[in-house]
Every structure is written in structure tokens, then in C-alpha cells.
Amino acid sequence: MPMCCDLEELNFLSPGYPMYFQFLKFGIYFLMVLLVFSGIFNYITSSKGDNCISREMVPEDVTYNEIVKICVKDGINEYSLANKINDIADLEKQEIYNLFTIVLLFFLLQFLRKIQKETAVICDERDITASDFTARVRHFPTDWAENIDIDEEVKKFFETHALPGKTLKVVNVSCVYDVHEKLAQRKIIQEKTILKQKLYAKRAEGTI
């Protein structure tokens, strides 16, 4: 995860702010949205519900089929939807608040995505690596004279001819060779060798 820029010059919504801290603060924002727009209301209305009963109020002679239909009040059920299942007005309000919260979180996520995408681009531009100063050149001439240091010749050429009127500093040149054709020929030889071995085996068995 990119970490760039001077923290003292940036606020957390700016594109250059480290993505990790952006994510943490947006996570706090998500929790605040959930609590403010639906969580607090759901908590209060559920705790005031009267559908769940305490364990002392459960009849002793109740059957299993009956007790599974009873909401027994405990540390979880007391603040859950089950405790206000009979309060239609609060349930309708809760659905509205929950829908509004989901829509708000959707736009907040899009905003976070935009900010972090901009941050990734800026940090990538400021994170200078060797690849930013590396060039790949193809189709070199193959008719080099003997005892010629190809790397050194290429280095001299680019230092003096790469940019008209300017001299570049080339640190290193690494010549590589295109071996695709040789690999293709090697594959053909392997296939022919396997075929030859199969034919010898069939000849030994007398099948051909």
C-alpha cells in the first residue's frame, strides 16, 4: 500500500494522504453513519420493546414447541428486532432509516474509491524506481565485428545520439537475445524424439 508525501502538508481527504490512514478514518466514518442514521434509533426502540419476556415469566409447564415461539429476554434479544416485533410503527421507521443508511454508505464508498485511486496514482508518480529510467530497445543489428563489446557500443550510442544536442548518462546496458525460434525448434526436436522412441518400441514388439 503506497505511503508517500509529507503528512504535515496534507489533510486526510487529499489524494496524497497515505491510503492506510484514509481507510482507517473512512472506517470510523462508516461506523458513525451506521450509528447516527440507524444504529441508535434501532437500539433505543428495541430496548423499549415488550415482546420478549424474562426467564422468570416463562411458565414451568410450557412445552418445547411452545417455548421455541417465545422470545426470552437476555443480553442479546433485549436489543434485537425480536423484542419490538409487535411495534409496527417502529419497524416501518427502522426500514426507512436502514434504507437511507445503505444509500449513504454506497455514496461514501464511491467517494473513498475515488480518493484512494487518486492517492495510488500520485504515490506511484512520486515513488521513483529504476524502472522509471529504463528503456527497452529491439531490432539491434546482428552483424557486429568480432571482439566488439556490444554493451559498451550500445551505451556510447545512446549517450551521444539518443537526444539531439544532449548527452545522456547511461548507467548500465544489458543485452538479451530472442530465443523464441530456438525454443520452437527445441520443442519440435523433443516431439520427434518421442515419436522415434514410440516407433522403435512398436518395431521391437513387432506391431510395425
Reported confidence tier of residue 191, pLDDT bands at 50, 70, 90 = very high
pLDDT tens digits for 153-169? Answer: 888 888 888 888 888 88
Find out whether 123 and 5 touch, Cβ atoms under 8 Å.
yes
Gyration radius of the chain over CA positions: 36
Q: What is the mean pLDDT of the segment spanning 113-136? A: 79
Say whether pLDDT at 6 is over 50.
no
pLDDT at 146 over 60: yes
Residues whose CB is less than 8 angstroms from the CB of residue 150 and which lie 6 or more positions away in sequence, other chains included: 140, 144, 175
User: Looking at residue 189, what is its pLDDT?
Assistant: 94
- Residues 6+ away with beta carbon under 8 Å from 173: 151, 152, 154, 155, 158
Q: Give the residue-averaged pLDDT of 90-114.
A: 91
* 152: confidence class by pLDDT, cuts 50, 70, 90: confident
Q: pLDDT tens digits for 21-60?
A: 888 888 899 999 999 998 899 888 888 887 777 777 767 7
